[in-house]
Amino acid sequence: MKALVFHGPGQKSWMEKAKPTLVQPTDAIVRVTHTTICGTDLHILKGDVPEVESGRTLGHEGTGVVEAVGAGVTNFKPGDRVLISCITACGRCPNCKKQLYAHCADGGWILGHLIDGTQAEYVRIPHADNSLYPVPADADEEALVMLSDIFPTGFEIGVLAGEVKPGDTVAIVGAGPVGMATLLTAQFYSPARLIMIDLDPARLETARQFGATDLVNAGSEDAVARIMALTGGRGVDVSIEAVGVPATFDVCQRIVCAGGHIANVGVHGKSVDLQLQDLWIKNITLTTGLVTTRTTPILLQTVQAGRVDPAKLVTHRFALDQIMQAYEVFANAAREKAIKVILKA
Ligand code: NAD
Ligand code: ZN
């Protein structure tokens, strides 16, 4: 089969590789029908994620058709259409029982990270019963592939952890795929205002089309001053960090109102300047964490009910074997006006 293989920092190729086989009785082999490229793949390629070994097939988002299952798989059979979770987890260990799937005692593997991923014609899915979701016959797979990672991330770590409520003023810093997924899923809870902050005017304009009520360009204006002015000096009820740099975490600390909530989604990779005294005096709650994908089935229902359309984020489409070209586009997302790039087998 063909797969997109990482060969160390800065190097990748679309190459022939052995088709995966069943290793454990709980495994499934899935023929990939749709996959995407995520910002995390670019971080791996830059060498920012040293635990990813040379030879690894990248990619952790996808849909497909079950090709084979081990004897221990009970929920799926060959021919079933499936949505692939970015995390594979046993579903039975103490952490899985708390739905902390990224911390599974026998897994917690992120596809395309510690095990081979979805940017390939076939992928092995460990703990298939808990790591795949059935796809309704009439589902739009372009929408569903957004539920492998970015939608549950924005929803769980941004909206649910941040406890967005009706009437709230919510600020989201970062209008990338994760920030956009946060913007779309925050609307389930009818916040009164949804302020989007980014540096890219085109992404801000897209955020307006997706329901942002106020736009702040942090490149051309003082984001904190503008948000304080927009909120009459009070600040926002919930500030959601979806970039992953110290400066945007700091903005989130400074714009949150007394009794408010900071939900950190971004992966910082290094420490940030935590203003604990300010958070203490303002009774602020700070939450953060890894996506679990426990909400993927709920999101699937909302998509099928027509309450949200994640396919809105898809700006570019390629055949799977054009993935090298797709990486070029995604790596130059601002110039190419790309949000999500879909690969179809
Ligand atoms: P992205 O890089 O595609 O988008 C980030 C956006 O932030 C861009 O639109 C960029 O213009 C904007 N930005 C950059 N610097 C800024 C600044 N100073 N002020 C305002 N805006 C700024 O990233 P993404 O794929 O959308 O992911 C967002 C973050 O979420 C990343 O840190 C990613 O690693 C993280 N993430 C976390 C989890 C989790 O489990 N918590 C899961 C997936 C992704
Ligand atoms: Zn487990």
* Per-position pLDDT tens, the chain of length 345: 999 999 999 999 999 999 999 999 999 999 999 999 999 999 999 998 999 999 999 999 999 999 999 999 999 999 999 999 999 999 999 999 999 999 999 988 889 999 999 999 999 999 999 999 999 999 999 999 999 999 999 999 999 999 999 999 999 999 999 999 999 999 999 999 999 999 999 999 999 999 999 999 999 999 999 999 999 999 999 999 999 999 999 999 999 999 999 999 999 988 899 999 999 999 999 999 999 999 999 999 999 999 999 999 999 999 999 999 999 999 999 999 999 999 999
User: Taking the CA atoms of the chain, what radius of gyration do you get in angstroms?
Assistant: 20
- Ligand nearest to the Cα of 216, by number: 1
Kindly list the domain boundaries of the chain, sorted by start residue.
2-149+292-344, 153-288
Atom number in ligand 1 closest to CA 181: 26
Q: 173 CB under 6 A from ligand 1? A: yes
Sign (positive/negative) of CA torsion 300, 41, 186, 164? positive
- Ligand 1, atom 25: closest residue by C-alpha: 39
Q: From CA 318, how far away is CA 334, in angstroms rounded?
A: 18
Q: 157 CB under 6 A from ligand 1? A: yes
Q: What is the pLDDT of residue 108?
A: 82
Mutate to test the pocket of ligand 1, among 195, 205, 243 (most ligand atoms within 8 A of CB): 243
Q: In this structure, are residues 320 and 57 in contact, taking their beta carbons and an 8 Å threshold?
A: no
Q: From CA 343, how far away is CA 12, in angstroms rounded?
A: 17
Q: From CA 62, how far away is CA 17, in angstroms rounded?
A: 19
Beta strands in 159-276 (DSSP E): 169-173, 193-198, 214-217, 236-241, 256-264
Q: What is the pLDDT of residue 168?
A: 98
- Ligand 1, atom 3: closest residue by C-alpha: 176
- Ligand 1, atom 30: closest residue by C-alpha: 266
Query: Quick one: tokens of 37?
Result: 């490229």
Query: Quick one: tokens of 322?
Result: 């054009």
Q: From CA 113, how far away is CA 102, in angstroms rounded?
A: 12
Distance 297 CA to ligand 2 centre (A): 18
- Ligand 1, atom 14: closest residue by C-alpha: 243
Query: Quick one: tokens of 287?
Result: 């939450």
Beta strands in 145-284 (DSSP E): 169-173, 193-198, 214-217, 236-241, 256-264
Q: What is the pLDDT of residue 232?
A: 98
Q: Are strands 285-288 and 256-264 parallel, antiparallel or unpaired?
A: parallel
Distance 104 CA to ligand 2 centre (A): 4
> Which residues neighbour 138 within 8 Å (Cβ) at sequence distance 6 or greater?
304
Closest among 343, 344, 341, 244 to 38, alpha carbons compared: 341
- Ligand nearest to the Cα of 195, by number: 1
Q: Which CATH architecture has domain 153-288?
A: 3-Layer(aba) Sandwich (3.40)
Q: Are strands 193-198 and 109-110 parallel, antiparallel or unpaired?
A: unpaired
Atom number in ligand 1 closest to CA 40: 34
- Ligand nearest to the Cα of 215, by number: 1
Q: Which residue has the tokens 């990248």?
A: 58
> CA 180 → CA 21, 72, 245, distances in Å?
36, 38, 17
Sign (positive/negative) of CA torsion 140, 198, 252, 211? negative
Q: In this structure, are residues 20 and 80 in contact, taking their beta carbons and an 8 Å threshold?
A: no
Distance 87 CA to ligand 1 centre (A): 19
Secondary structure percentages of the chain, helix, strand, coil, to 5:
30, 25, 40
Q: 121 CB under 6 A from ligand 1? A: no
Mutate to test the pocket of ligand 1, among 156, 178, 182 (most ligand atoms within 8 A of CB): 178
Q: What is the pLDDT of residue 17?
A: 97
The per-residue b/e assignment along 282-302, b for 16 or more CB within 10 angstroms, e otherwise, is: eebebbeebbbbbbbeebbeb
For the whole model, what pTM was predicted?
0.97
CATH class of residue range 2-149+292-344 = alpha beta
Longest dimension (CA), the chain: 62
Closest among 123, 95, 124, 122 to 108, alpha carbons compared: 95
Residue type at 205 in one-letter notation: E
